[in-house]
A = this chain, B = another copy of it.
Amino acid sequence: MMNYIPTSQIHIPEGMIDLGVGDPDFALLPLDMLHRAAEACFAKADPAFLQYGAEQGDGYFRMALAGFLSRGYGFSVDPGTLFVTNGISNALDLICAHFTRPGDTIFVEEPTYFLALRIFADHDLRIVPVQTDENGLVIEALKEKLAEVHPKFLYTVPTFQNPGGYTLSQDRRDKLAQLSQEHDFMIAADEVYHFLNYSDRQVKSFAAYADLETVISLGSFSKILAPALRLGWLQAHPEAIKRLVTSGLLDSGGGLNPFTSAIVRELLEAGDLEKNIARLIAAYRSRLAAMETALRRELPQAEFVTPEGGFFFWVRLPGVDAEQTQQKALEYQVGFRPGVRFSSHTGMGDFIRLCFTFYDEENIDEGIRRLRKCLEFSL
């Protein structure tokens, strides 16, 4: 029998402030909103949402989602270009399964989301890192790599990047889309943080390029609603959608998440997702400010660019071996993610990733104080 009964994926020792955890705060998960949506869904008394679902995803859900995306992006999204997924990890897994073969080369940003690297490794892909700077992927560096090797796809987190926090500039977006056409590689744009924008600056989603056969925009409800839903979408050219939809898995099991998407459809149609995002932005903006203040006060040697959205500060601690320090940090009851985990070639050794969404302002402040104490002798 089980001695310990796991529920969520998060296991933080009592008393610890783990700024390495990259998840939403439990207290900000929209329990009441989802409760109302579930009620509205069951109140229709139509059992159709309990049957095997349409392979591409429920049509009414995709219409409601297209409405939300059209309002958010400022341009029209066709529900026929949307495919319902179990979230971005699942979408990446499907893209690897359908568009690559073991041994194929793909490009990733350096640094990049470390768990995406795990998914690519599971598919035995050869991973080539491409340099980034404070404006995201460096196009010249990409061109150099493209002259050497042809990738099946490029994986990018273009907006409020994980872990870097930076956003790909508009000019680079256009160039990247154009290069994908010229060199015939796909762009898998992980836009999980797109709607968590704490600045006044608008950013154009890669959905704007999704009429190109080379661009797939990946979205998720994990960060703007609740991770447990395992609900996301991708937007792509009809040819790419067709390849994803005609699989044995979907033929056999039907759409990937018909029950949950029927509930979230109600929430979308009620206009609640916009309200939830506004609530999250208000909370996260304040937490971001708390972390910035604490970092500048406690760790003046730290180098970082304040993010304008998303979940993370990407902090360079000159002279610090972050992975070694992690063990010591346990004694100070504070956690972070060492930068090396986000590198595809064991670089980024003096970087750490700090998440500002999981804890409230008080805990963030205390966490950074503990980090200073832990680092006092290293810095």
The answer to whether B51 touches A29, judged by C-beta atoms less than 8 angstroms apart, is yes
Task: Kindly provide the distance from the CB of A86 to the nearest chain B CB, expressed in whole angstroms.
Answer: 7
Instruction: Write the chain B residue with the least CB distance to A27.
Output: B47
The answer to whether B248 touches A54, judged by C-beta atoms less than 8 angstroms apart, is no
The answer to whether B248 touches A89, judged by C-beta atoms less than 8 angstroms apart, is yes
Task: Kindly provide the distance from the CB of A311 to the nearest chain B CB, expressed in whole angstroms.
Answer: 13
Do A117 and B248 contact each other (CB < 8 Å), given the known contacts A5-B59, A6-B58, A253-B87? yes
Q: Mark A334-371, 1 if CB is under 8 A from B, else 0.
A: 00000000000000000000000000000000000000
The answer to whether A9 touches B226, judged by C-beta atoms less than 8 angstroms apart, is no
Instruction: Write the chain B residue with the least CB distance to A117.
Output: B248
Instruction: Write the chain B residue with the least CB distance to A54.
Output: B6
Do A9 and B229 contact each other (CB < 8 Å), given the known contacts A38-B42, A42-B31, A120-B248? no
The answer for the CA separation of A249 and B85 in the assembled complex, in Å, is 13
The answer for the CA separation of A45 and B30 in the assembled complex, in Å, is 11
Task: Kindly provide the distance from the CB of A132 to the nearest chain B CB, expressed in whole angstroms.
Answer: 20
Binds B, one of A181-189, A197-205, A255-263: A255-263
The answer to whether B54 touches A252, judged by C-beta atoms less than 8 angstroms apart, is no
Copies in the complex: 2
The answer to whether A89 touches B59, judged by C-beta atoms less than 8 angstroms apart, is no
Instruction: Write the chain B residue with the least CB distance to A49.
Output: B228
The answer for the CA separation of A47 and B4 in the assembled complex, in Å, is 19
Query: Please, could you name 27 A-B residue pairs with CB atoms under 8 Å apart, sorted by A?
Result: A2-B80, A5-B60, A5-B63, A8-B52, A8-B53, A8-B254, A9-B255, A26-B48, A27-B47, A30-B50, A31-B45, A38-B38, A51-B227, A51-B228, A86-B256, A87-B253, A89-B253, A90-B249, A93-B248, A97-B97, A115-B252, A118-B247, A118-B248, A118-B251, A227-B254, A227-B258, A260-B260
